[in-house]
Amino acid sequence: MPIPWFITRLTGITDTMVADAPRFADVAPEFLDFIGDSILVAHNSGFDMTFLNHEISQVFGEYRLANPCLCTVKLSRKLLPDIENHKLKTVAEHYSIDLTNHHRAGADAYATAHIFVNLLAKLAEGGVNDLGAVRRMGSRRNSYVR
């Protein structure tokens, strides 16, 4: 499907750039194999999981990911309340993480991973060392784990 103009404007990614990319249906089995039952980490995981589950439903009908997913946006809001905002670029700058090619999968994944490592260290300082402890930090309404 064509990339909406506002996404092209935001990311700089054009239809031409993805014309030869494989369809999700062609890579879905390998992707699901790769993630297995791992805990997923994403910056704004609600968006990413909704998007992934939509695409998965196009291939596998009613199947949805059941993997726990940690959201670095929600964690940064809790652990870094004094920064200007919690956009990926802002949190990356807070931790002096390079995000030169923002809105590109590799660069954004790299930044998210390094942000997560920093947030893990901050969680550990507070005695939070496992997924159960992260779950207990939030309320039902403001869960850090999906």
Tokens, residue 14: 């054009």
pLDDT tens for the chain, 146 residues long, are: 889 999 888 888 899 999 999 999 999 999 999 999 999 999 999 999 999 999 999 999 999 999 999 999 999 999 999 999 999 999 999 999 998 878 777 889 999 999 999 999 999 998 999 888 888 887 555 666 66
Map out the domains of the chain as residue ranges. 5-137
pTM of the model: 0.83
Instruction: Please give the pLDDT value at position 139.
Output: 58
Residue 43 catalytic? Answer: no
Pick the CATH number of 5-137 from 3.30.70.1290, 3.40.50.180, 1.10.10.10, 3.30.420.10: 3.30.420.10
Q: Which of 54, 94, 102, 103 is catalytic?
A: 103
